[in-house]
Amino acid sequence: MYKTGLCVLDCPDSCSIEVKVKDGHLVSIDGDTRNPLTEGYICGKVRSQMNEHLYGEDRVRHPLIRCGTKGDASFERVSWDQALSAIAERFNAIRDNYGGEAILPLSYGGSNGLLSQDNTDARYFRRLKASRLARTVCAAPSTRASGAMYGWMPGVSFTDYAEARAIIIWGANPSVTGIHLMPVLQKAKKEGAWIAVVDPRRTGVARIADLHLPLRPGTDLPVALSIARWMFESGAADREFLAEYACEVDEFAERAAAWSFDTAAEVAGVDPAVIAELAERYVTAEPAVVRCGWGLERNRNGGSAVAAVLALSAVAGKFGVRGGGYTMSNAKAWNLDASIAAAEDEVLTRVINMNKTGEVLLSSAPPVKGLFIYNCNPLATLPAQDKVRRGLMREDLFTVVFDQVMTDTARYADVVLPATTFLERPELARSYGAYTLQRCKAVLDPVGESRSNHEVFATLCELSGLAQPDDPVGEDEIINTILGASREEKKCGALYRKREFPFRDLGQTQFN
Ligand code: SF4
Protein backbone atom coordinates (compact mmCIF):
# COMPACT_ATOMS: atom_id res chain seq x y z
CA MET A 1 0.00 0.00 0.00
CA TYR A 2 1.23 3.50 -0.83
CA LYS A 3 0.63 6.47 1.46
CA THR A 4 1.48 10.13 1.05
CA GLY A 5 3.33 12.21 3.60
CA LEU A 6 5.89 14.97 3.95
CA CYS A 7 9.41 15.38 5.24
CA VAL A 8 9.76 17.87 8.09
CA LEU A 9 13.50 17.59 8.65
CA ASP A 10 15.31 20.93 8.88
CA CYS A 11 15.71 21.41 5.13
CA PRO A 12 14.29 24.17 2.89
CA ASP A 13 12.72 21.69 0.46
CA SER A 14 9.95 20.18 2.64
CA CYS A 15 9.46 17.28 0.24
CA SER A 16 6.14 15.64 -0.39
CA ILE A 17 6.73 11.91 -0.21
CA GLU A 18 5.21 8.61 -1.20
CA VAL A 19 5.74 5.76 1.22
CA LYS A 20 5.26 2.08 0.48
CA VAL A 21 3.89 0.51 3.65
CA LYS A 22 3.34 -3.11 4.64
CA ASP A 23 1.63 -3.99 7.92
CA GLY A 24 2.32 -0.48 9.21
CA HIS A 25 6.06 -0.79 8.42
CA LEU A 26 8.19 1.13 5.95
CA VAL A 27 9.05 -0.74 2.76
CA SER A 28 10.37 2.14 0.68
CA ILE A 29 10.14 5.90 0.46
CA ASP A 30 10.55 8.41 -2.36
CA GLY A 31 9.37 11.82 -3.47
CA ASP A 32 6.08 12.57 -5.19
CA THR A 33 4.89 15.65 -7.04
CA ARG A 34 2.31 17.23 -4.72
CA ASN A 35 5.01 19.70 -3.76
CA PRO A 36 6.07 20.86 -7.26
CA LEU A 37 9.63 21.44 -6.05
CA THR A 38 10.02 17.78 -5.03
CA GLU A 39 9.46 16.56 -8.59
CA GLY A 40 9.28 12.91 -7.60
CA TYR A 41 12.63 12.44 -5.87
CA ILE A 42 14.19 12.96 -2.43
CA CYS A 43 17.68 13.00 -0.95
CA GLY A 44 19.63 9.82 -0.24
CA LYS A 45 19.58 10.52 3.50
CA VAL A 46 15.84 9.97 3.75
CA ARG A 47 15.43 7.52 0.84
CA SER A 48 18.08 5.05 1.97
CA GLN A 49 18.64 5.69 5.67
CA MET A 50 15.13 6.00 7.12
CA ASN A 51 14.82 2.24 7.45
CA GLU A 52 17.85 2.05 9.73
CA HIS A 53 16.75 5.16 11.63
CA LEU A 54 13.28 3.69 12.22
CA TYR A 55 14.11 0.07 12.96
CA GLY A 56 17.83 0.01 13.78
CA GLU A 57 19.24 -0.93 17.17
CA ASP A 58 19.70 2.71 18.24
CA ARG A 59 15.94 3.36 18.12
CA VAL A 60 14.47 4.10 21.53
CA ARG A 61 11.40 1.87 21.76
CA HIS A 62 10.23 2.25 25.36
CA PRO A 63 10.50 4.76 28.21
CA LEU A 64 13.68 4.18 30.20
CA ILE A 65 14.91 5.20 33.64
CA ARG A 66 18.57 5.36 34.56
CA CYS A 67 19.94 2.57 36.74
CA GLY A 68 23.68 3.19 36.40
CA THR A 69 26.17 6.03 36.18
CA LYS A 70 25.31 9.05 34.05
CA GLY A 71 26.86 8.64 30.63
CA ASP A 72 27.11 4.85 30.58
CA ALA A 73 23.58 4.40 29.16
CA SER A 74 22.44 1.91 31.79
CA PHE A 75 18.67 2.04 31.79
CA GLU A 76 15.76 -0.11 32.74
CA ARG A 77 12.49 -0.22 30.89
CA VAL A 78 9.49 1.40 32.58
CA SER A 79 5.93 2.17 31.57
CA TRP A 80 4.85 5.54 30.19
CA ASP A 81 2.83 6.09 33.37
CA GLN A 82 5.90 5.54 35.54
CA ALA A 83 8.14 7.73 33.39
CA LEU A 84 5.75 10.65 33.02
CA SER A 85 4.68 10.56 36.68
CA ALA A 86 8.34 10.66 37.71
CA ILE A 87 8.97 13.66 35.44
CA ALA A 88 5.86 15.56 36.53
CA GLU A 89 6.64 14.98 40.19
CA ARG A 90 10.30 15.94 39.89
CA PHE A 91 9.74 19.06 37.80
CA ASN A 92 6.96 20.25 40.12
CA ALA A 93 9.29 19.71 43.09
CA ILE A 94 12.09 21.66 41.37
CA ARG A 95 9.70 24.53 40.67
CA ASP A 96 8.45 24.51 44.28
CA ASN A 97 11.92 24.33 45.85
CA TYR A 98 14.10 26.35 43.48
CA GLY A 99 11.67 28.33 41.29
CA GLY A 100 10.54 27.59 37.75
CA GLU A 101 13.68 29.13 36.26
CA ALA A 102 15.65 26.17 37.61
CA ILE A 103 14.00 24.21 34.78
CA LEU A 104 15.48 24.56 31.29
CA PRO A 105 13.74 23.24 28.16
CA LEU A 106 16.40 22.64 25.51
CA SER A 107 15.25 22.09 21.95
CA TYR A 108 16.18 22.96 18.38
CA GLY A 109 15.17 22.16 14.81
CA GLY A 110 15.35 18.37 14.87
CA SER A 111 11.92 18.65 13.39
CA ASN A 112 10.54 21.66 11.56
CA GLY A 113 6.98 20.41 11.87
CA LEU A 114 4.61 22.95 13.34
CA LEU A 115 3.08 20.28 15.58
CA SER A 116 6.40 19.34 17.15
CA GLN A 117 7.61 22.51 18.78
CA ASP A 118 6.47 25.74 20.42
CA ASN A 119 2.89 24.76 21.18
CA THR A 120 2.01 22.04 23.71
CA ASP A 121 5.62 21.97 24.92
CA ALA A 122 5.57 25.76 25.36
CA ARG A 123 2.31 25.47 27.32
CA TYR A 124 3.94 23.07 29.79
CA PHE A 125 7.10 25.11 30.28
CA ARG A 126 5.32 28.49 30.41
CA ARG A 127 2.99 27.22 33.11
CA LEU A 128 5.98 25.90 35.05
CA LYS A 129 7.52 29.39 34.61
CA ALA A 130 10.64 27.67 33.31
CA SER A 131 13.68 29.50 31.88
CA ARG A 132 13.30 30.44 28.23
CA LEU A 133 15.76 29.36 25.57
CA ALA A 134 17.38 31.56 22.92
CA ARG A 135 17.85 29.15 20.00
CA THR A 136 21.15 30.59 18.88
CA VAL A 137 23.08 27.57 17.67
CA CYS A 138 22.25 28.21 14.02
CA ALA A 139 20.81 31.07 11.96
CA ALA A 140 20.61 33.57 14.84
CA PRO A 141 22.75 36.28 13.11
CA SER A 142 21.16 35.77 9.68
CA THR A 143 17.62 35.73 11.09
CA ARG A 144 18.33 38.95 12.97
CA ALA A 145 19.91 40.56 9.90
CA SER A 146 17.21 39.54 7.42
CA GLY A 147 14.41 40.37 9.87
CA ALA A 148 15.85 43.81 10.60
CA MET A 149 16.24 44.56 6.89
CA TYR A 150 13.12 43.07 5.33
CA GLY A 151 10.81 42.23 8.24
CA TRP A 152 8.50 39.33 7.43
CA MET A 153 8.71 39.80 3.67
CA PRO A 154 9.16 36.42 2.00
CA GLY A 155 11.93 36.09 -0.57
CA VAL A 156 11.97 34.53 -4.03
CA SER A 157 10.51 31.01 -4.09
CA PHE A 158 12.94 28.33 -5.31
CA THR A 159 10.43 27.50 -8.05
CA ASP A 160 10.77 31.05 -9.42
CA TYR A 161 14.53 30.84 -9.93
CA ALA A 162 13.76 29.56 -13.42
CA GLU A 163 12.57 33.11 -14.24
CA ALA A 164 15.83 34.78 -13.21
CA ARG A 165 18.46 35.85 -15.75
CA ALA A 166 21.24 36.16 -13.15
CA ILE A 167 21.49 34.00 -10.05
CA ILE A 168 24.08 34.40 -7.30
CA ILE A 169 24.39 31.49 -4.88
CA TRP A 170 26.22 32.99 -1.92
CA GLY A 171 27.26 30.72 0.97
CA ALA A 172 24.95 27.83 0.06
CA ASN A 173 25.57 24.48 -1.57
CA PRO A 174 22.37 23.05 -3.07
CA SER A 175 24.32 20.23 -4.69
CA VAL A 176 24.29 18.54 -1.26
CA THR A 177 21.72 20.35 0.88
CA GLY A 178 18.35 21.66 -0.23
CA ILE A 179 19.04 19.67 -3.39
CA HIS A 180 15.83 20.52 -5.21
CA LEU A 181 17.17 23.93 -6.18
CA MET A 182 19.71 22.24 -8.48
CA PRO A 183 17.32 21.22 -11.30
CA VAL A 184 15.78 24.70 -11.21
CA LEU A 185 19.26 26.21 -11.61
CA GLN A 186 20.03 23.84 -14.45
CA LYS A 187 16.75 24.75 -16.16
CA ALA A 188 17.44 28.46 -15.70
CA LYS A 189 20.94 27.98 -17.12
CA LYS A 190 19.56 26.16 -20.14
CA GLU A 191 17.26 29.10 -20.73
CA GLY A 192 20.16 31.51 -20.66
CA ALA A 193 20.52 32.49 -17.01
CA TRP A 194 23.99 33.45 -15.80
CA ILE A 195 24.97 31.78 -12.51
CA ALA A 196 27.64 32.81 -10.02
CA VAL A 197 28.68 31.01 -6.85
CA VAL A 198 30.44 32.69 -3.94
CA ASP A 199 32.00 29.98 -1.81
CA PRO A 200 35.51 29.21 -0.54
CA ARG A 201 35.15 25.67 -1.92
CA ARG A 202 34.63 24.46 -5.45
CA THR A 203 31.33 22.79 -4.60
CA GLY A 204 29.04 20.87 -6.92
CA VAL A 205 27.01 23.98 -7.64
CA ALA A 206 30.22 25.97 -8.26
CA ARG A 207 31.06 23.45 -10.99
CA ILE A 208 27.93 24.27 -12.98
CA ALA A 209 28.29 28.03 -12.46
CA ASP A 210 29.54 30.57 -15.02
CA LEU A 211 31.59 32.29 -12.34
CA HIS A 212 33.02 30.98 -9.08
CA LEU A 213 34.39 33.44 -6.53
CA PRO A 214 36.45 31.33 -4.08
CA LEU A 215 36.88 33.94 -1.37
CA ARG A 216 38.60 33.23 1.93
CA PRO A 217 36.20 32.22 4.74
CA GLY A 218 35.05 35.29 6.66
CA THR A 219 35.64 37.80 3.84
CA ASP A 220 32.10 37.91 2.45
CA LEU A 221 31.50 41.27 4.14
CA PRO A 222 34.21 43.31 2.35
CA VAL A 223 33.38 41.65 -0.96
CA ALA A 224 29.66 42.48 -0.66
CA LEU A 225 30.49 46.03 0.45
CA SER A 226 32.82 46.52 -2.52
CA ILE A 227 29.98 45.54 -4.87
CA ALA A 228 27.65 47.98 -3.11
CA ARG A 229 30.27 50.75 -3.34
CA TRP A 230 30.68 50.14 -7.05
CA MET A 231 26.91 50.31 -7.52
CA PHE A 232 26.71 53.64 -5.70
CA GLU A 233 29.72 55.11 -7.51
CA SER A 234 28.94 53.86 -11.01
CA GLY A 235 25.31 54.97 -10.97
CA ALA A 236 24.08 51.37 -11.01
CA ALA A 237 22.32 51.84 -7.66
CA ASP A 238 18.56 52.23 -8.04
CA ARG A 239 18.24 55.59 -6.28
CA GLU A 240 14.54 55.86 -7.02
CA PHE A 241 13.79 52.51 -5.39
CA LEU A 242 16.02 53.32 -2.41
CA ALA A 243 14.40 56.73 -1.89
CA GLU A 244 10.97 55.17 -1.81
CA TYR A 245 11.58 51.97 0.14
CA ALA A 246 14.86 52.09 2.05
CA CYS A 247 16.23 53.97 5.03
CA GLU A 248 19.78 54.74 6.21
CA VAL A 249 21.06 54.41 2.65
CA ASP A 250 23.76 57.06 3.14
CA GLU A 251 25.06 55.30 6.25
CA PHE A 252 25.32 52.05 4.32
CA ALA A 253 27.04 53.76 1.38
CA GLU A 254 29.51 55.32 3.83
CA ARG A 255 30.40 51.87 5.23
CA ALA A 256 30.74 50.47 1.73
CA ALA A 257 33.00 53.35 0.66
CA ALA A 258 35.89 51.80 2.58
CA TRP A 259 36.05 48.84 0.18
CA SER A 260 37.05 48.93 -3.47
CA PHE A 261 37.22 45.80 -5.63
CA ASP A 262 41.00 45.89 -5.16
CA THR A 263 41.04 46.13 -1.36
CA ALA A 264 38.26 43.56 -0.96
CA ALA A 265 39.98 41.20 -3.40
CA GLU A 266 43.21 41.48 -1.45
CA VAL A 267 41.69 40.34 1.86
CA ALA A 268 39.50 37.77 0.13
CA GLY A 269 42.40 36.30 -1.85
CA VAL A 270 40.61 36.58 -5.20
CA ASP A 271 41.05 38.41 -8.50
CA PRO A 272 39.41 41.90 -8.35
CA ALA A 273 38.33 41.46 -11.98
CA VAL A 274 36.18 38.50 -10.94
CA ILE A 275 34.36 40.58 -8.30
CA ALA A 276 33.87 43.29 -10.93
CA GLU A 277 32.45 40.80 -13.41
CA LEU A 278 30.07 39.43 -10.80
CA ALA A 279 28.87 42.96 -9.95
CA GLU A 280 28.35 43.97 -13.58
CA ARG A 281 26.53 40.79 -14.60
CA TYR A 282 24.29 41.09 -11.55
CA VAL A 283 23.21 44.70 -12.06
CA THR A 284 22.60 44.35 -15.80
CA ALA A 285 20.44 41.21 -15.58
CA GLU A 286 16.71 41.39 -15.02
CA PRO A 287 15.34 39.59 -13.05
CA ALA A 288 18.30 38.81 -10.77
CA VAL A 289 18.24 36.89 -7.52
CA VAL A 290 20.69 36.27 -4.67
CA ARG A 291 20.35 33.00 -2.77
CA CYS A 292 22.01 33.80 0.56
CA GLY A 293 22.82 30.67 2.54
CA TRP A 294 23.94 30.21 6.12
CA GLY A 295 27.60 29.48 5.34
CA LEU A 296 28.74 33.07 5.65
CA GLU A 297 27.20 33.64 9.07
CA ARG A 298 29.60 31.13 10.67
CA ASN A 299 32.10 33.82 11.45
CA ARG A 300 32.56 36.63 13.90
CA ASN A 301 31.30 39.15 11.30
CA GLY A 302 28.66 36.75 9.95
CA GLY A 303 25.56 38.82 10.73
CA SER A 304 27.08 41.90 9.07
CA ALA A 305 28.10 39.82 6.05
CA VAL A 306 24.55 38.51 5.62
CA ALA A 307 23.16 42.05 5.97
CA ALA A 308 25.57 43.37 3.31
CA VAL A 309 24.75 40.55 0.88
CA LEU A 310 21.01 41.00 1.38
CA ALA A 311 21.36 44.77 0.88
CA LEU A 312 22.60 44.23 -2.69
CA SER A 313 19.08 43.38 -3.93
CA ALA A 314 17.76 46.67 -2.55
CA VAL A 315 20.68 48.80 -3.77
CA ALA A 316 20.29 47.34 -7.26
CA GLY A 317 16.48 47.63 -7.09
CA LYS A 318 15.91 43.99 -7.97
CA PHE A 319 12.49 43.58 -6.36
CA GLY A 320 9.04 43.72 -7.92
CA VAL A 321 9.52 41.16 -10.69
CA ARG A 322 9.03 37.42 -10.55
CA GLY A 323 12.41 35.77 -9.94
CA GLY A 324 13.96 39.02 -8.69
CA GLY A 325 15.17 39.79 -5.16
CA TYR A 326 16.73 37.51 -2.59
CA THR A 327 16.06 34.26 -0.75
CA MET A 328 17.09 33.43 2.76
CA SER A 329 14.31 31.61 4.64
CA ASN A 330 10.86 31.67 3.05
CA ALA A 331 9.14 30.42 6.20
CA LYS A 332 7.94 34.02 6.36
CA ALA A 333 5.71 33.39 3.35
CA TRP A 334 3.24 32.00 5.87
CA ASN A 335 1.58 34.18 8.43
CA LEU A 336 1.71 31.41 11.02
CA ASP A 337 2.92 31.01 14.57
CA ALA A 338 2.73 27.57 16.17
CA SER A 339 2.86 29.09 19.64
CA ILE A 340 -0.76 30.24 19.43
CA ALA A 341 -1.62 26.61 20.25
CA ALA A 342 0.34 26.93 23.50
CA ALA A 343 -2.80 28.70 24.72
CA GLU A 344 -0.59 30.37 27.30
CA ASP A 345 1.14 33.75 27.14
CA GLU A 346 4.90 33.84 27.15
CA VAL A 347 6.24 34.34 30.67
CA LEU A 348 9.15 36.77 30.94
CA THR A 349 11.53 34.49 32.79
CA ARG A 350 15.30 34.49 32.27
CA VAL A 351 16.58 33.67 28.79
CA ILE A 352 19.38 31.12 28.39
CA ASN A 353 21.59 31.37 25.31
CA MET A 354 21.81 27.76 24.11
CA ASN A 355 25.37 28.31 22.91
CA LYS A 356 26.25 28.74 26.60
CA THR A 357 24.51 25.58 27.77
CA GLY A 358 27.71 24.03 29.14
CA GLU A 359 28.57 27.12 31.15
CA VAL A 360 24.99 27.49 32.37
CA LEU A 361 24.79 23.88 33.52
CA LEU A 362 28.01 24.31 35.48
CA SER A 363 27.57 27.73 37.03
CA SER A 364 24.30 29.60 36.49
CA ALA A 365 22.37 31.25 39.32
CA PRO A 366 19.78 30.00 40.01
CA PRO A 367 21.29 26.67 39.04
CA VAL A 368 19.55 24.53 36.44
CA LYS A 369 18.12 21.59 38.36
CA GLY A 370 15.83 20.17 35.70
CA LEU A 371 16.71 19.84 32.01
CA PHE A 372 14.25 18.67 29.35
CA ILE A 373 15.94 17.97 26.02
CA TYR A 374 13.92 17.28 22.86
CA ASN A 375 14.32 17.80 19.10
CA CYS A 376 18.09 18.13 19.56
CA ASN A 377 21.29 16.39 20.58
CA PRO A 378 23.26 19.08 22.44
CA LEU A 379 26.26 16.94 23.31
CA ALA A 380 26.94 16.51 19.60
CA THR A 381 25.95 19.96 18.36
CA LEU A 382 26.61 22.64 20.99
CA PRO A 383 29.90 24.49 21.55
CA ALA A 384 32.12 23.72 24.57
CA GLN A 385 31.31 20.03 24.44
CA ASP A 386 33.38 19.22 27.51
CA LYS A 387 31.40 21.71 29.61
CA VAL A 388 28.12 20.31 28.30
CA ARG A 389 29.29 16.81 29.20
CA ARG A 390 30.41 17.84 32.68
CA GLY A 391 27.10 19.62 33.18
CA LEU A 392 25.16 16.52 32.17
CA MET A 393 27.23 14.46 34.63
CA ARG A 394 25.96 16.51 37.60
CA GLU A 395 24.24 14.16 40.02
CA ASP A 396 21.91 16.93 41.22
CA LEU A 397 20.66 17.63 37.68
CA PHE A 398 17.50 15.80 36.63
CA THR A 399 17.69 15.30 32.85
CA VAL A 400 14.96 14.10 30.52
CA VAL A 401 15.81 13.28 26.90
CA PHE A 402 12.89 12.77 24.54
CA ASP A 403 14.29 11.45 21.27
CA GLN A 404 13.89 8.90 18.52
CA VAL A 405 17.29 7.25 18.98
CA MET A 406 19.83 6.75 21.76
CA THR A 407 21.84 9.90 21.10
CA ASP A 408 25.10 10.86 22.80
CA THR A 409 23.04 13.14 25.04
CA ALA A 410 20.45 10.48 25.90
CA ARG A 411 23.18 8.35 27.48
CA TYR A 412 23.36 10.98 30.26
CA ALA A 413 19.62 11.15 30.93
CA ASP A 414 17.74 10.17 34.05
CA VAL A 415 14.67 9.47 31.95
CA VAL A 416 14.60 8.70 28.21
CA LEU A 417 11.30 8.96 26.35
CA PRO A 418 10.77 7.41 22.90
CA ALA A 419 9.69 9.95 20.27
CA THR A 420 7.94 9.34 16.98
CA THR A 421 9.64 10.21 13.72
CA PHE A 422 7.89 12.43 11.19
CA LEU A 423 6.53 9.32 9.45
CA GLU A 424 4.78 8.10 12.58
CA ARG A 425 2.75 11.18 13.52
CA PRO A 426 0.52 13.74 11.82
CA GLU A 427 2.29 16.95 10.82
CA LEU A 428 1.78 20.41 9.43
CA ALA A 429 4.83 22.01 7.84
CA ARG A 430 5.80 24.98 5.71
CA SER A 431 8.73 24.95 3.38
CA TYR A 432 11.41 27.60 3.66
CA GLY A 433 12.58 27.24 0.05
CA ALA A 434 9.40 27.22 -2.03
CA TYR A 435 6.04 28.50 -0.78
CA THR A 436 4.28 25.35 0.31
CA LEU A 437 2.29 24.41 3.36
CA GLN A 438 1.53 20.73 3.76
CA ARG A 439 -0.43 18.64 6.19
CA CYS A 440 -0.31 14.88 6.51
CA LYS A 441 -1.44 12.02 8.67
CA ALA A 442 0.87 9.41 10.17
CA VAL A 443 1.95 6.99 7.45
CA LEU A 444 3.60 4.30 9.63
CA ASP A 445 2.74 2.63 12.91
CA PRO A 446 4.86 4.11 15.70
CA VAL A 447 7.83 1.89 16.51
CA GLY A 448 7.64 0.40 20.00
CA GLU A 449 5.82 2.74 22.36
CA SER A 450 7.01 5.99 20.77
CA ARG A 451 4.73 9.00 21.15
CA SER A 452 4.42 12.42 19.55
CA ASN A 453 5.60 15.60 21.26
CA HIS A 454 2.19 17.14 21.72
CA GLU A 455 0.80 13.90 23.18
CA VAL A 456 3.58 13.74 25.76
CA PHE A 457 3.48 17.41 26.76
CA ALA A 458 -0.33 17.38 27.00
CA THR A 459 -0.09 14.40 29.38
CA LEU A 460 2.61 16.15 31.41
CA CYS A 461 0.34 19.19 31.76
CA GLU A 462 -2.40 16.88 33.07
CA LEU A 463 -0.14 15.03 35.51
CA SER A 464 1.40 18.28 36.77
CA GLY A 465 -1.93 19.96 37.46
CA LEU A 466 -1.21 22.49 34.69
CA ALA A 467 -3.89 21.55 32.14
CA GLN A 468 -6.89 23.78 31.55
CA PRO A 469 -10.22 22.44 30.32
CA ASP A 470 -10.20 24.23 26.96
CA ASP A 471 -6.55 23.65 26.00
CA PRO A 472 -6.22 22.51 22.37
CA VAL A 473 -4.87 18.97 22.61
CA GLY A 474 -5.75 16.76 19.64
CA GLU A 475 -3.83 17.16 16.37
CA ASP A 476 -6.82 18.59 14.50
CA GLU A 477 -7.47 21.12 17.24
CA ILE A 478 -3.82 22.20 17.33
CA ILE A 479 -3.63 22.50 13.54
CA ASN A 480 -6.87 24.47 13.35
CA THR A 481 -5.61 26.77 16.09
CA ILE A 482 -2.30 27.38 14.28
CA LEU A 483 -4.01 27.98 10.95
CA GLY A 484 -6.60 30.20 12.56
CA ALA A 485 -4.30 32.82 14.02
CA SER A 486 -1.52 35.08 12.88
CA ARG A 487 1.91 35.62 14.32
CA GLU A 488 1.12 39.18 15.43
CA GLU A 489 -1.15 37.84 18.13
CA LYS A 490 1.52 37.34 20.75
CA LYS A 491 -0.92 37.31 23.64
CA CYS A 492 -1.80 33.82 22.62
CA GLY A 493 -3.22 32.62 25.94
CA ALA A 494 -5.79 35.37 26.33
CA LEU A 495 -6.66 35.36 22.65
CA TYR A 496 -7.00 31.62 22.52
CA ARG A 497 -9.38 31.65 25.45
CA LYS A 498 -11.51 34.45 23.98
CA ARG A 499 -11.40 32.85 20.50
CA GLU A 500 -10.98 36.35 19.17
CA PHE A 501 -8.72 35.56 16.27
CA PRO A 502 -10.22 35.37 12.83
CA PHE A 503 -9.09 32.91 10.21
CA ARG A 504 -6.49 34.79 8.23
CA ASP A 505 -5.87 35.07 4.57
CA LEU A 506 -2.95 32.71 4.16
CA GLY A 507 -1.90 34.27 0.87
CA GLN A 508 -1.55 33.03 -2.68
CA THR A 509 0.34 29.92 -1.79
CA GLN A 510 0.04 26.21 -2.31
CA PHE A 511 -1.65 24.13 0.38
CA ASN A 512 -1.30 20.40 -0.22
S1 SF4 B 1 15.65 16.83 0.44
FE2 SF4 B 1 15.19 17.74 2.43
S3 SF4 B 1 12.94 17.77 2.59
FE4 SF4 B 1 13.52 16.36 0.92
S5 SF4 B 1 13.58 14.34 1.89
FE6 SF4 B 1 15.67 15.17 1.97
S7 SF4 B 1 15.80 16.21 3.96
FE8 SF4 B 1 13.64 15.85 3.53
Question: For each of the chain's 512 residues, which pLDDT tens digit applies?
Answer: 999 999 999 999 999 999 999 999 999 999 999 899 999 999 999 999 999 999 999 999 999 999 999 999 999 999 999 999 999 999 999 999 999 999 999 999 888 899 999 999 999 999 999 999 999 999 999 999 999 999 878 899 999 999 999 999 999 999 999 999 999 999 999 999 999 999 999 999 999 999 999 999 999 999 999 999 999 999 999 999 999 999 999 999 999 999 999 999 999 999 999 999 999 999 999 999 999 999 999 988 999 999 999 999 999 999 999 999 999 999 888 878 888 899 999 999 999 999 999 999 999 889 999 999 999 999 999 999 999 999 999 999 999 999 999 999 999 999 999 999 999 999 999 999 998 999 999 999 999 999 999 999 999 999 999 999 999 988 889 988 888 775 554 444 554 554 443 334 443 333 33
Position 86 scores a pLDDT of: 98
Q: Which domains does the chain have, with CATH numbers?
A: 64-135+335-425+446-511 (3.40.50.740), 140-328 (3.40.228.10)
Distance of CA 391 to the CA centre of its chain: 26
Q: How far is the CA of 401 from the centre of ligand 1 (A)?
A: 25
**423 C-beta closer than 6 A to ligand 1:** no
Whether ligand 1 lies within 6 angstroms of the CB of 13 is answered as yes
Gap from CA of 261 to ligand 1 centroid (Å): 38
Ligand 1, pocket-test mutation among 15, 16, 17, 48, most atoms within 8 A of CB: 15
The complex scores an ipTM of 1.00
- The whole-angstrom distance between residue 317's C-alpha and the CA centroid of its chain comes to 28
Measuring CA to CA, which residue among 328, 169, 308 is closest to residue 227?
Answer: 308
Three-state SS at 449 = coil
- The DSSP call for residue 419 is B
Which residues, listed in sequence order, are joined to residue 151 by a DSSP beta bridge? none
Contact 199, 171 (CB under 8 A): yes
> What pLDDT score does 333 carry?
83
- Span from the CA of 31 to the centroid of ligand 1 (angstroms): 9
Whether 15 lines ligand 1, by a CB cut-off of 6 Å, is yes
Minimum CA distance residue for ligand 1 atom 4: 15
C-alpha span between 294 and 481 (Å, rounded): 31
- CA of 179, closest atom in ligand 1: 1
Q: What is the pLDDT of residue 4?
A: 94
Euclidean distance between CA atoms 447 and 55, whole angstroms: 7
Q: How far is CA 18 from CA 54, 113, 497, in A?
A: 16, 18, 38
**Would the CB of 434 count as within 6 Å of ligand 1?**
no
Question: What confidence score (pLDDT) does residue 110 get?
Answer: 80
Rg, C-alpha atoms of the chain: 24
Q: Is the CB of 11 under 6 A from ligand 1?
A: yes
Query: Do residues 343 and 472 touch, judged by C-beta distance below 8 A?
Result: yes
Ligand 1 mutation pick, 9, 32, 33, 179, max ligand atoms within 8 A of CB: 9
* Residue among 287, 120, 116, 107 at smallest CA distance from 192: 287
pLDDT for the residue 486: 58
pLDDT on residue 354 = 96
Ligand 1 nearest-atom number relative to CA 7:
8
Cα–Cα distance, 40 to 35 (Å, whole number): 9
> Which DSSP string corresponds to 169-216?
EES--TTTSSTTHHHHHHHHHHTT-EEEEE-SS--HHHHHSSEEE-PP
Count of Cβ atoms closer than 10 Å to residue 226 Cβ: 26
Residues 18 and 14: their CA atoms lie apart, in Å, by: 13
Ligand 1 contacts CB of residue 16 (under 6 A):
no
> Which protein residue has the closest C-alpha to ligand 1 atom 1?
43
CA atoms lying within 13 Å on the CB side of residue 252: 26
User: Quick check: 141 and 133 in contact, CB under 8 A?
Assistant: no
Instruction: Return the pLDDT at 489.
Output: 46
* pLDDT the model gives residue 487: 52
Question: Within 13 Å of residue 335, how many CA atoms lie on the same side as its CB?
Answer: 13
| 429 Cβ inside 6 Å of ligand 1 | no
In 382-463, DSSP assigns E strands to 398-403, 415-418, 427-430, 436-440
